């Protein structure tokens, strides 16, 4: 981790932390008072991106299982769960909740974003000190393969009890059971 001056917040982003069994213990031994921000997605949005990986991709999406491990080291109050779907449809709203969780003044608002039709994602507008806007990398916003609706239905049934458990554990309903999400 880089050094942090008083009044600064250091952030580190690694997508695999939440699903790596050894990560909670290691992170806890490094910084017990750390605040954790975890981005979660409906299985359809998550698994299709991993379709060419091994089917351990199914286990990655059992968020309740991973959360149980993290709760052995950190209280839920130190965790904030970001809806990956809302991060795309309402980035300012989701980031507003992140700013609140971190105890920051809400500075990032709708005026900082535009929707990039090519990528299919919101991007940050051009910062004053830059000549170009900031957008997700080439690996994001790509077209996913078409999946048989029967497979989608089976995945939905597989994840549903785990999603319900996750909602109960976090006190948040990500509404993945609504049509169009799963």
Q: What is the pLDDT along the chain (182 residues), one digit of tens a residue?
A: 667 788 788 888 887 899 999 999 999 999 899 999 999 988 766 555 544 434 577 888 899 999 999 999 999 999 999 999 999 899 999 999 999 999 999 999 999 998 888 878 898 887 676 667 778 766 666 666 777 888 888 888 888 999 999 999 999 999 998 754 44
- The whole-angstrom separation of Cα 122 and Cα 125 is 9
Q: Is 180 inside a domain boundary?
A: no
> pTM here?
0.83
Q: Is 3 inside a domain boundary?
A: no
CATH of residue 68's domain is 3.40.50.300
Nearest to 74 by CA among 177, 178, 170: 170
Q: Is 82 inside a domain boundary?
A: yes
Taking the CA atoms of residue 3, residue 7, residue 124 and residue 34 in that order, the dihedral angle to the nearest 10 degrees is 70
Whole-angstrom distance between the N-terminal and C-terminal Cα of the chain? 37
pLDDT of residue 54: 46
Return binding residues.
Answer: 140-144
pLDDT of residue 107: 93
Q: Is 148 inside a domain boundary?
A: yes
Return binding residues for 3'-phosphoadenylyl sulfate.
Answer: 140-144
Q: Is 90 inside a domain boundary?
A: yes
- The whole-angstrom separation of Cα 59 and Cα 55 is 8
- The whole-angstrom separation of Cα 66 and Cα 80 is 14
- The whole-angstrom separation of Cα 75 and Cα 55 is 30
Beta bridge partners of 124: 113, 134
Q: Is 42 inside a domain boundary?
A: yes
79, 36 Cβ separation under 8 angstroms:
yes
Tally of domains in the chain: 1
Within its chain, how far is the Cα of 91 from the centroid?
12
pLDDT of residue 69: 97
Q: Is 83 inside a domain boundary?
A: yes
Q: Which domain covers residue 103, as residue numbers?
A: 17-170
């Amino acid at each position: 981790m880089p050094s942090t001056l008083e009044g600064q917040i250091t952030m580190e982003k690694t997508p695999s932390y939440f699903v790596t069994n050894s990560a909670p213990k290691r992170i806890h031994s490094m910084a017990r008072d750390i605040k954790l921000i975890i981005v979660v997605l409906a299985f359809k949005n998550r698994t299709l991106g991993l379709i060419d990986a091994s089917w351990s991709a199914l286990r990655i999406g059992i968020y309740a299982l991973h959360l149980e491990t993290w709760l052995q080291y950190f209280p839920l109050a130190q965790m904030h769960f970001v809806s990956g779907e809302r991060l795309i449809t309402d980035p300012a709203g989701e980031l507003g909740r992140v700013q609140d969780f971190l105890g920051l003044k809400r500075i990032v608002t709708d005026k900082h974003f535009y929707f990039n039709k090519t990528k299919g994602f919101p991007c940050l507008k051009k910062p004053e000190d830059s000549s170009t806007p900031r957008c997700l990398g080439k690996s994001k916003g790509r077209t996913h393969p078409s999946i048989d609706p029967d497979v989608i239905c089976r995945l939905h049934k597989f994840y549903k009890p785990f999603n319900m458990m996750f909602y109960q554990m976090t006190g948040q309903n990500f509404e993945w059971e609504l049509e169009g999400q799963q």
